[in-house]
Structure 1
Amino acid sequence: MTEPFFGNFDLASLTLWLFWIFFALLIFYIQRENMREGYPLEDDDGKPSANQGMFPVPDDKVFKLPHGRGDKAVPSGQTPERADLPLEKTAAGNGFPFAPTGDPMADGVGPASWAPRRDIPELNGAGHPKIVPMASHEQFSVAAGRDPRGLPVKAGDGAIVGKITDMWIDEPEQMVRYLEFELDGEFGKGKRLVPLTMACIKSDCVKVRSIFGKHFAGVPQIASPHQVTLLEEDKICGYFAGGTLYASEERQEPVLG
């Protein structure tokens, strides 16, 4: 009498080994997919890192961007990092902070840093600019809270630098993202945007604590009065946030509790 084909074969062992092989391949695949941004690794000087890890960089994958914005191939087609920044090392090894060598707010470094995002506006699901001035959309109004339009803008040093002229709204989210203000002549000219999170709306003014009157002329401007691009947003937010540390030398000193 002949033995069955699997009579002396351990099916349980085969199943277990197949599971471990599948699990190892899954980890390998997921780890490579995780390396589509930020790889190959670089050191603090922007040179290829000596330790690239045990997994190879994946082959390019092409993503078709919505609303006719072309294709994006990663990891090779990543936006290049900013180069030749006015910074200097504070120590020889990697991982130590860099110190600004110029005007950090104007140079966009440290807390005032910005990323080289695409110079195009963020779009909503219909392919229209997502953040727009309220003045151009009559269907929106202030439903709660204080309307800041017409209020003066007070800098961190108490200087009155201009007045609020409009609010820029995130149309799909139906919330205010930026306040638009017109600068007085002695503090520059033209209109600027300030992130709502960096402004405090009071009964008699809008307080922008992070920067002083002398800094408002350097607030990054936008190219169009009807839309703000991703790059412009990053530069504006970086400028106001950086002033929290860099607006004065006193702010850069240690604070004793």
Structure 2
Amino acid sequence: MHLQITPHIDVALIALNAFFLFFLGLVIYLRREDRREGYPLEDELTGRLESAGGPILTASPKTFRLSFDRGSVTAPTKGREPVEVAGARRTDRFHGASIEPTGNPLVDGVGPAAWADRAKRPDIDWEGRPRIVPISTDDGFFIAKGDADPRGFAVVGADGKVAGKVVDLWVDRADRLIRYLDVELSVGKRVLAPMAMATIQGEYHRVSLDAITAAQFADVPAIAGPDTITFYEEERIVAYFGGGYLYATPDRAEPLL
């Protein structure tokens, strides 16, 4: 059986052209959608805003309604985000040149200590409640029998010195795990430390946190609420500790070879 429509067109040719048109449309659609975040581009040297791809490859604004009547978010945004890198300078005048800190990189948000300007509201669970809360405020969570309870343990920094002690734990109601250690410093300030960067040493009744030194705990970004933490505050805290793996001590910032 010959599926010939005309002397020069058959079903196979039609199917091939249909696939080509579909694939071309898919590529254009994906290139439009990937421009919802991160645009407009900016020249690193001149500060001039680059084109996002013209009317064909630039996605039209789309509004996303947030759950639990928390408003809406529109993407892509227009204009340049008001973010400046303080306390750092570019080492050379070319695209992609590295920057080096001129102040405290952990506080200024340089390199691995950089943070994103996330929403100033807490994450919530499926019931609309704050997702990350102190364990002392939720009777449904407790430390499993046989596991070490770090509350009361000393917190030791990368230099082996004691920064403070754990006074509470912040748990994730959705993932059912500890997210942050609530640390009371010797100066009376309380800060949160990421549980993922800590090592519980139950036999010594201490928590080892090698991301930063004991003295650097004093500059950990604080949170505004006593029992809630916002996306932005989480971003700042994790960035501060993460940057410590490069900037906590001078020898960490030097090359290995």
**Structure 1 equivalent of residue 178 of structure 2:** 176
Q: Is the 8 A contact 1:65 1:72 kept in 2?
A: yes
Q: Kindly provide the amino acid, as one letter, of the partner of residue 127 in structure 2.
A: A
Deviation at 1:193, TM superposition (A): 0.5
Q: Is the 8 A contact 2:106 2:243 kept in 1?
A: yes
**Structure 1 equivalent of residue 193 of structure 2:** 194
SS of 2:31 mapped into structure 1:
helix
- Post-superposition Cα deviations, 1:138-179, rounded to whole Å, max 9, x if no partner, equal 121111531101111112222222110111111011111111
Question: CA separation in 2, counterparts of 1:171 and 1:255?
Answer: 41
Q: Kindly provide the amino acid, as one letter, of the partner of residue 149 in structure 1.
A: R
SS of 2:68 mapped into structure 1:
coil
Query: 1:7 and 1:115, CA in 2 relative to 1: closer, same or farther beyond 3 A?
Result: closer
Query: 1:149 and 1:100, CA in 2 relative to 1: closer, same or farther beyond 3 A?
Result: same
- Post-superposition Cα deviations, 1:51-100, rounded to whole Å, max 9, x if no partner, equal 85896211111111111111111112699252253322122211121111
SS of 1:95 mapped into structure 2:
coil
Q: Is the 8 A contact 1:40 1:52 kept in 2?
A: no
Question: CA separation in 2, counterparts of 1:194 and 1:151?
Answer: 13
Q: Kindly provide the amino acid, as one letter, of the partner of residue 43 in structure 2.
A: D
RMSD: 2.3
Question: CA separation in 1, counterparts of 2:210 and 2:6?
Answer: 81
Q: Kindly provide the amino acid, as one letter, of the partner of residue 249 in structure 1.
A: P
Can you give the 5+ residue segments of structure 2 that lack an aligned partner in the other structure? none
SS of 1:239 mapped into structure 2:
helix
Query: 1:219 and 1:80, CA in 2 relative to 1: closer, same or farther beyond 3 A?
Result: same
Q: Is the 8 A contact 1:41 1:52 kept in 2?
A: no
**Structure 2 equivalent of residue 3 of structure 1:** none
**Structure 1 equivalent of residue 127 of structure 2:** 126
Over the matched positions of the two proteins, sequence identity in percent amounts to 38
TM-score (norm 1): 0.87
SS of 2:160 mapped into structure 1:
coil
Deviation at 1:111, TM superposition (A): 1.4
Question: CA separation in 2, counterparts of 1:41 and 1:53?
Answer: 13
More displaced 10-residue stretch of structure 1: 219-228 or 55-64 = 55-64
- Post-superposition Cα deviations, 1:22-72, rounded to whole Å, max 9, x if no partner, equal 321222112211221112322335542478589621111111111111111
Deviation at 1:15, TM superposition (A): 4.0
SS of 1:182 mapped into structure 2:
strand
